[in-house]
């Protein structure tokens, strides 16, 4: 939940009220924060995930808070037909999609010598392919509404050259190329496409799987700012990129990493 005290400290975007928003991977982590933040702005939110339990718990908690609840549709994004069907269902419920947050991803670790062709293809399907096909499906909806905003979740991993997950890092670099290509192609329809690039964000999964004492030291050394990045820090940038406040921003990377150098 975003408490009243917390939300009153941050921006409210009148242009997001009633806007039809579609979020992938909204069941946990940064995606959950995206769902909560767009709902708090009065947007009509639909989200997909494979993690049914946490997704349904999120919907229930938002219902109990009394706001207009998001629509959850179970969908494995590796199945592009299922993704297309979910987007059509979301548009039927909330009106043509105006904001797409391509958020879902998976950073499971792997060593180069262990990567098979099937594993490589699966990593691309989980981290890159659905972003293109979601944008393809969103385009006619956005065109019909006179414009829209597509927000692709990238990562600093490829800029800093992280080891231990080369397929993930490759997919994340590809998302920047995808952003540039689609921003150019869709721009004349006033559809904006940007890449939102998180640093190391303290989601439940990151803390459980990857945050070690060495990782804590790395954050302290490499971030300019001392605080730990939270999912809400990323969601607030997404609100800006989705709103009319960023009307002339497209084809860019927006990095939220506490100054990772
Ligand atoms: N957390 C970080 O430090 C960090 C850093 C850089 C970039 N990112 C990016 O931000 C985005 C969100 O990351 P996160 O940390 O919140 O991840 P997360 O693992 O906490 O959440 C991802 C969500 O996507 C869902 N998902 C995964 N595969 C799916 C599939 N095949 N179909 C449907 N849903 C699926 C998961 O169930 C989960 O709810 C990702 O694109 C990630 O690469 C995260």
Spatial separation of the C-alpha atoms in residues 169 and 161, rounded to whole Å: 8
| Residue 106 belongs to a domain | yes
DSSP string, 167-225: HHHHHHHHHHHHHHHHHHHHGGGTEEEEEEEE-SB--HHHHHHT--HHHHHHHHHHBSS
Spatial separation of the C-alpha atoms in residues 106 and 77, rounded to whole Å: 12
Closest CA to 36 of 67, 13, 76, 78: 67
Banded model confidence at residue 192, pLDDT cuts 50, 70, 90: very high
| Residue 164 belongs to a domain | yes
User: Model confidence over 52-97: pLDDT tens digits?
Assistant: 999 999 999 999 998 889 999 999 999 999 999 999 999 999 999 9
| Residue 128 belongs to a domain | yes
User: Model confidence over 25-52: pLDDT tens digits?
Assistant: 999 999 999 999 999 999 999 999 999 9
- Structurally, the chain folds into a number of domains equal to 1
Spatial separation of the C-alpha atoms in residues 168 and 157, rounded to whole Å: 9
User: Model confidence over 200-228: pLDDT tens digits?
Assistant: 999 999 999 999 999 999 999 999 999 99
Percent of the chain with pLDDT over 70: 97
What is the mean pLDDT of the segment spanning 128-155?
A: 98
Banded model confidence at residue 2, pLDDT cuts 50, 70, 90: low
User: Model confidence over 4-15: pLDDT tens digits?
Assistant: 556 679 999 999
| Residue 244 belongs to a domain | yes
Tokens representing residue 110 in the block:
């792997």
Residue 161 is predicted with a pLDDT of: 83
Spatial separation of the C-alpha atoms in residues 73 and 69, rounded to whole Å: 13
- Residues near 222 by beta carbon (within 8 Å), at least 6 away in sequence: 260, 261
For ligand 1, whether the C-beta of 103 sits within 6 Å is yes
| Residue 261 belongs to a domain | no
Q: Which domain holds residue 74?
A: 14-256
Assess whether 168 carries a catalytic annotation. Answer: yes
Spatial separation of the C-alpha atoms in residues 97 and 191, rounded to whole Å: 11
Residue 6 is predicted with a pLDDT of: 62
For ligand 1, whether the C-beta of 97 sits within 6 Å is no
Q: What is the CATH number of the domain that holds 126?
A: 3.40.50.720
Ligand 1 atom nearest the C-alpha of 231 is 16
Residue 47 is predicted with a pLDDT of: 98
Spatial separation of the C-alpha atoms in residues 66 and 68, rounded to whole Å: 7
| Residue 6 belongs to a domain | no
| Residue 5 belongs to a domain | no
For ligand 1, whether the C-beta of 58 sits within 6 Å is no
Ligand 1 atom nearest the C-alpha of 26 is 39
Residue 7 is predicted with a pLDDT of: 67
- Residues near 129 by beta carbon (within 8 Å), at least 6 away in sequence: 78, 80
| Residue 103 belongs to a domain | yes
Residue 198 is predicted with a pLDDT of: 98
Does the global pTM surpass 0.85?
yes
């Amino acid at each position: 939940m975003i408490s009243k005290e917390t939300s009153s400290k941050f921006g409210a975007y009148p242009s997001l009220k009633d806007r039809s928003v579609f979020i992938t991977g909204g069941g946990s982590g940064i995606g959950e924060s995206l769902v909560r933040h767009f709902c708090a702005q009065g947007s009509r939110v639909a989200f997909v995930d494979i993690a049914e339990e946490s997704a349904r718990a999120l919907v229930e908690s938002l219902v109990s808070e009394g706001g207009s609840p998001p629509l959850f549709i179970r969908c494995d994004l590796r199945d592009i037909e299922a993704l297309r069907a979910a987007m059509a269902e979301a548009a039927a419920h909330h009106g043509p999609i105006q904001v797409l947050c391509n958020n879902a991803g998976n950073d499971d670790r792997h060593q180069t010598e262990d990567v098979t062709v099937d594993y490589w293809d699966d990593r691309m399907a989980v981290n890159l392919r659905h972003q293109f096909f979601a944008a393809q499906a969103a385009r006619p909806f956005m065109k019909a509404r006179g414009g829209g905003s597509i927000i692709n979740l990238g990562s600093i991993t490829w800029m800093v050259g992280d080891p231990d997950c080369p397929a993930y890092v490759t997919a994340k670099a590809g998302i920047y190329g995808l952003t540039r290509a689609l921003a150019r192609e869709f721009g004349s329809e006033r559809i904006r496409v940007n890449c939102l690039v998180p640093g190391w964000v303290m989601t439940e999964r990151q803390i459980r799987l990857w945050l070690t004492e060495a990782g804590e030291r790395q954050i302290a050394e490499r971030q300019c700012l001392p605080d730990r990045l939270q999912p809400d820090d990323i969601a607030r940038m997404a609100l800006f990129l989705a709103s009319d406040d960023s009307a002339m921003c497209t084809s860019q990377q927006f990095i939220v990493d506490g100054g990772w150098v």
